[in-house]
Amino acid sequence: MKKLRNWLEEYQQYLGYIVISAIFLVVTGGYAYIQSDVISLIIFLYFVGDIIYRVNSYFRHQAKMLKKIESITYRVKHAGETAFNQLPLGILLYDETGEIIWFNGCLKRIFNQDLHHKTLKDLSEQLYNRSLNDEGLFKINVDTKTYQVLHKKDERLMYFTDDTEYTDLSQKYLNEQPVVGVLVIDNYDEVFNNLNEQAKSEFYGKIVSIIMQWADQHQIYIRTTANDRFILMMPHEVLQQLRETKFTIIDKVREAAKERDTMLTISIGLATGYDSFSELGQRANYMLDLALSRGGDQVAVKIASEDKFLFYGGKTNPVEKRNRVRARVNAQAYERLVRDSERVIIMGHRYPDVDAIGASIGLLRMGLASNKEAYIVLKQEELDKTAKNFVDAILKDDKLKQYFISSEMAIELMTKNTLLVVADTQDPKMVIEPALLPRAKKVAVFDHHRRGVNVIDSVLSFAEPYASSTVELVVDMFDYYSQKIKMTPLEASIMLAGIIVDTRRFSYHTGRRTYETAAILKQKGAEEKLVQQLLRTPLENYYSRAHLIERAEIFKDEFIIASADDDFVLEKVQIAQTADELLNVQNIKASFVISRIDEQHIGISARSLGDVNVQLLMEQLGGGGHLNNAATQMRSHSTQDVVLQLKEVIVKELEESGESQ
């Protein structure tokens, strides 16, 4: 029955012809036999012959097709064997233990060894590690070649194709991408204006010679656009070389300047990976501005394919500039903004310190002097203990406390014609009330910190890292404000306290202008006794400081790290004061104090004497600050985890600077 069914399926297309032919043969054959009709017999015999011919032709065709199929099967089989063994496609099967159970000839040629009884780890550590991931497609290096691996993890199957030519082409494309840069002599006017013509010519010639030799050594196209400004062009490959050597040109220029007892430095902004030279130029200038706003003496690099900004150098403190033009220009610009606004709302950073509060009071008084409605945003729940003393004094002053408002009220008062002023920070994530920024159409920023990657978009920005404090910048503008600035002794004392705290009582980051600012505040009624009373700290601060100092450890001979127990929650001012004190330990270049500052965050306060740029170290941990005064906050379950991360960053920085031991 099964054979009949198979036969019917095979000859289904011929069944109609067979049935009709059979009926016709029976009819004509029977008629010829019964009637003895010759014509019918001839017709019968004709159809018999035709059927025999057709059947014979069919089977001959079938035999021919079978022979052809056998030939094709052989060729396909041979082609498959060729593909498995001769085509440039490596194939590998492995078991659940990673042992190779089958491979083709191409794979053997790729690894140039016998693969029997070998594991993936025996073939390549890189291949083994990549196979553990869920990647379906990845690349590995074998000798001098690069192979793309298609990994079927569920089937434990790998396909290897030679990707060397494409990889080399991609690398060549990357290496030849254009890089545009701008190099400037940071403090050209301050240095050369004090030299006579001969000394100026000799010194300038020496500096330019160093820059030109450096450019020639690395085959960099360089052209002078001004006495203190140069345009740079180079391929990406050269940029990579400069990154590996940490841009030694900035050290060479600084050392050459030291030989003449000057503080001349250079800064460079570089950009690459953008579609047009116009955008490359704009980005390079932006990176230069960023380098200068961070204090100069450094290189800032932006690669389009990378999210982060890259900084190199920044080993010196910015030189204090005596040019008062910026103070005058910014004072006049701020006065115009205040005059053209309905009201002024001022805010500092989160957990405001005395400098932020003092600067805000100075900006408030400038707004009030222009007969404008002005307020300071304050969150009393976000105060350290030192700042709390000052806020308590403010709240006891009926006249002054009326100008301090909550963030909710500030949001209600914000209109299209309200001027929002930010003091003591440039980072939009650090302000006391981030919700105010998108509501403000006009924003002015005053800050003395080095500029970070994220900055507030503002119509006016007066940010000078050479200043001791933001209070100093605000007082700088008083002389150029058309209206007389009036303030009470309490207000002047709070502003003076901001300078005292940020300069560690005039022992750090202090210039001639700092003392002049203190003198102006003294003239406006600042009282040393009141400042001293407000700066007093509770007894528990001394206990916590002793706890931290007791747990301090020396790391790499030149660093001291103190970390509190995980159950200790300390004020930021406490860990900052401890970091200041630990810096006095003999042979120490930088101090780091780590403690939990709330249930979720652990803070690091970093200090240095100038030989170590703690700003760069803190930036790698998500923070920032100055060259010798920086900090960060991190989410972590343990202070010891943070200590380990800090040590890794220090070791990495030492290795990159060639100072590791």
Q: Write the CB contacts of 438 (distance below 8 Å, at least 6 apart in sequence).
A: none
Query: Looking at residue 86, what is its pLDDT?
Result: 61
Query: Looking at residue 10, what is its pLDDT?
Result: 57
Residue 470, classed as helix, strand or coil, is: helix
Alpha carbon distance 464, 243 (integer Å): 27
Query: Looking at residue 549, what is its pLDDT?
Result: 86
pLDDT in tens, 145-202: 888 889 988 888 888 988 888 877 777 778 788 999 999 998 888 788 777 888 888 8
* Burial class (CB within 10 angstroms; exposed 0-12, middle 13-18, buried 19+) of 323: exposed
Indicate the average pLDDT of the chain: 83
pLDDT in tens, 446-465: 998 777 667 888 888 888 87
Alpha carbon distance 97, 344 (integer Å): 70
Residue 421, classed as helix, strand or coil, is: strand
pLDDT above 90 for 212:
yes
* 96 vs 592, more confident: 592
pLDDT in tens, 541-572: 777 788 888 889 999 888 999 998 888 888 77
- Geometric angle at alpha carbon 184, from 187 and 649, rounded to 5°: 90
Q: Tell me how crowded residue 77 is: count the other CB atoms within 10 A of its CB.
A: 10
pLDDT in tens, 604-625: 999 988 778 888 888 888 887 7
pLDDT in tens, 511-533: 788 888 889 898 888 888 888 88
CB contact at 8 A, 222 and 231: yes
Average pLDDT of the segment spanning 636-659 = 83
In the numeric block, the tokens 């010679």 are attached to 209
Query: Looking at residue 187, what is its pLDDT?
Result: 80
Query: Looking at residue 318, what is its pLDDT?
Result: 54
* Burial class (CB within 10 angstroms; exposed 0-12, middle 13-18, buried 19+) of 491: buried
Band of pLDDT at residue 8, cut at 50, 70 and 90: low
pLDDT above 60 for 351:
yes
Q: Write the CB contacts of 635 (distance below 8 Å, at least 6 apart in sequence).
A: 600, 601, 602
Q: What are phi and psi of 406, to 5 degrees?
A: -80, 165
CB contact at 8 A, 345 and 413: yes
Band of pLDDT at residue 271, cut at 50, 70 and 90: very high
pLDDT above 90 for 316:
no
pTM for the predicted model, two decimal places: 0.59
Query: Looking at residue 495, what is its pLDDT?
Result: 92
Strand partners, 446: 423, 462
Q: Write the CB contacts of 423 (distance below 8 Å, at least 6 apart in sequence).
A: 346, 347, 348, 356, 359, 360, 363, 446, 447, 470, 474
pLDDT above 70 for 85:
no
H or E, element range at 145: strand 145-152
Average pLDDT of the segment spanning 365-371 = 92
Tokens of 57: 């032709």
pLDDT above 80 for 592:
yes
pLDDT in tens, 317-341: 555 554 566 788 888 889 989 998 9
Alpha carbon distance 181, 225 (integer Å): 12
Query: Looking at residue 647, what is its pLDDT?
Result: 92
- Alpha-helical segments (H) within 245-353: 249-258, 277-293, 325-339
Query: Looking at residue 232, what is its pLDDT?
Result: 95
Q: What are phi and psi of 445, to 5 degrees?
A: -125, 135
CA dihedral sign, ordered 234, 238, 243, 249: negative
Query: Looking at residue 402, what is its pLDDT?
Result: 92
Chain-centroid distance, C-alpha 415: 34
Query: Looking at residue 426, what is its pLDDT?
Result: 87
pLDDT in tens, 275-313: 889 999 998 988 888 787 777 888 989 988 876 778 887
Alpha carbon distance 161, 91 (integer Å): 9
